[in-house]
Structure 1
Amino acid sequence: MTWLPALDPAHVSELVRAALAEDAPWGDLTGGAFVPPSAIARAQLTARIDGTLAGADVATEAFAQAGATLTWHTHDGARFRAGEVLAETSGPARAVLRAERVALNFLQRLCGTATLTAAFVDAVAGTGVRIADTRKTTPGLRALEKHAVLAGGGSNHRFSLSDAVMVKDNHLAVAREAGLGVTEAIRAAKQRLGHTVHVEVEVDRLEQIEPVLAAGVDTIMLDNFSLADLRTGVELVAGRAIVEASGTVRLETVRAIAGTGVDVISVGALTHSAPALDLGLDVHVAGGV
């Protein structure tokens, strides 16, 4: 497994605190009425289907803030099988039950993203092509979802609008309205940027490639190209820029796209359409009156 950068603990703490407050803004009515204060609970977090783990730190923080502990038998980025016990929790029963849904909500979503990413990465194995995410993330959860992509073996595209320049068709339309040609507009923009800023430009037709390359871009995105046009596009670029393919990429098509010679394939579905992974927490309560 590749090294995974740690999530920012302060950010994780803030997200978990908000989620717990949302789930029980005035306390847990059910736990307070039905669970004795002295009751102790132990539980096992079990995978119900195969998958890839992401979000361990987030789930641990949810139990910690509620007043319980969560001990892991595996780590983010590890693959697991249905029936495998991934972690165990213990503590006051009210605390365990208080944290359960919030922890599972985070885990199931992030494991779903990591698992779908791993499937795409497996599909292009041996081609040298990178599978990357996009900015199509859940508002407020981008750091977690992009971490889950890394856990699945994928790569992160830019994190935000502040990270890199990505010129899309709407930007070019504005430039044309101002009377600027594509090459001229990109060159003018580069003059206003620092020399370390990465510049990527999206094109949707083969004839746009040469004017974009003439401006000296770092990456060119071929958006919604056919396989034949992707191959032609790669030949036209001829190593002068990184070539990224994007647009309605599916598991059934990603291997063929990788075979066209592109360097990166960005997949919005990794974060906007990954199904939640089925995980279960089986609680056993003892003691208390």
Structure 2
Amino acid sequence: MVPLSYLFRFIEEDAPFGDVTSEAIIPEDVNARAVIIAKQDGIIAGVEEAKTLFEHFGVNVEVKKRDGEQVKKGDIILELEGNARVILLVERTALNVMGRMSGIATEVRRLVEKVRAVNPKVRVAGTRKTLLKPIDKRALLIGGGETHRFSLSDAILIKDNHLALVPLEAAIKRAKEFSVYKIVEVEVESLGDALKAARAGADVIMLDNMRPEEIGEVLEALKRGGLRDGVKIEVSGGITPENITEYAKLDIDVISLGYLTHSVKNFDVSLEVTGRA
């Protein structure tokens, strides 16, 4: 689950000096009941995060739908009972977190199912193209996807800007010598560089911005050279929900898409106060 300390920053940002509207018009001792409802169909996520926030402020929470469950429009996700001011204080932060996470989880699940219908062994991953990593990475997992690297500290990924400064084979050699515990991945854009990377001992080769037919040529060359089984193949760049199955048909291991987090469409959830408690 996303740490409370991370989530609490959003409350502090949203109400740095309290919720002046609720404090002005709602007596301090009023308790209320409320529900959080799905306003569309999809995969719900962020339930545990919302529950933790409300409970931190003393609100009683009953979970009706858990993270990763399919929900329908109108389904009740959480039932709340507690101080009315507190419920309204946490409302928008909880909904924002659930809306973003559910949007990611819903799209990830859709693409995972689409890919696995074509090739069950291919995994769908996100990227680091987000500033809300704890939230977005957890949503990827809830949707059935892979997080890829959480941070620059997790694994070694040699990209084009590294290779502009250090030759490919030398970069892989240095990376291998740096640590026996870190996976070494290298991003390439040509058949020749893919073969060099495999021969130099890369654990993962990312074929970046290559068309399916170009990737097919790389795969065949790796097989001919007896190199395919010793390396995982990731494809990335230019992949969309519309063309993803063309890539999934290939003998690859991972499809990564920054789109899953940088272009997320918010999932519609709302909080409705049902009366005084």
Match of 2:250 among 254, 260, 268: 260
Equivalent-residue separation in structure 2 for 1:47 and 1:56 (angstroms): 12
2:266 aligned residue: 276
1:150 aligned residue: 141
Spell out the pairing of 1:109-124 with structure 2 (5 A cutoff): 109-124=100-115
2:12 aligned residue: 21
SS of equivalent residue, structure 2 residue 110:
helix
Kindly, what percent of the aligned residue pairs are identical? 38
Spell out the pairing of 1:209-220 with structure 2 (5 A cutoff): 209-220=194-205
1:160 aligned residue: 151
SS of equivalent residue, structure 1 residue 25:
coil
The alignment status of 1:235 with 2:220, answered yes or no, reads yes
| Paired residues of 1:72 and 1:87 also in contact (CA < 8 A) | yes
Letter of the 2:84 counterpart: A
- CA apart distance, 1:266: 0.4
| Paired residues of 1:62 and 1:99 also in contact (CA < 8 A) | yes
Equivalent-residue separation in structure 2 for 1:112 and 1:142 (angstroms): 15
| CA distance 1:60–1:204, change in 2 (3 Å) | same
The alignment status of 1:63 with 2:30, answered yes or no, reads no
Spell out the pairing of 1:44-123 with structure 2 (5 A cutoff): 44-123=35-114
The superposition leaves residues 146-195 of structure 1 with CA deviations (integer Å, 9 ceiling, x where unpaired) of 111010011121211111100000000011xxxxx42233213322x221
Letter of the 1:196 counterpart: Y
- CA apart distance, 1:136: 0.9
Equivalent-residue separation in structure 1 for 2:275 and 2:13 (angstroms): 25
Equivalent-residue separation in structure 1 for 2:6 and 2:182 (angstroms): 30
| Paired residues of 1:77 and 1:151 also in contact (CA < 8 A) | yes
- CA apart distance, 1:85: 1.0
SS of equivalent residue, structure 2 residue 273:
strand
The alignment status of 1:134 with 2:130, answered yes or no, reads no
Instruction: Point out where structure 1 has 5 or more consecutive residues left out of the alignment.
Output: 1-6, 176-180
- CA apart distance, 1:261: 1.6
Equivalent-residue separation in structure 2 for 1:184 and 1:14 (angstroms): 42
Aligned pair count reads 270
The alignment status of 1:225 with 2:224, answered yes or no, reads no
Match of 1:199 among 172, 175, 184: 184
Tell me how large the CA RMSD over aligned residues is.
1.4
- CA apart distance, 1:120: 0.9
Spell out the pairing of 1:244-255 with structure 2 (5 A cutoff): 244-255=234-245
Instruction: Point out where structure 2 has 5 or more consecutive residues left out of the alignment.
Output: none
| Paired residues of 1:93 and 1:285 also in contact (CA < 8 A) | no
2:34 aligned residue: 43
Equivalent-residue separation in structure 1 for 2:56 and 2:153 (angstroms): 32
| Paired residues of 1:16 and 1:61 also in contact (CA < 8 A) | no
The alignment status of 1:183 with 2:169, answered yes or no, reads yes
Equivalent-residue separation in structure 2 for 1:183 and 1:93 (angstroms): 63
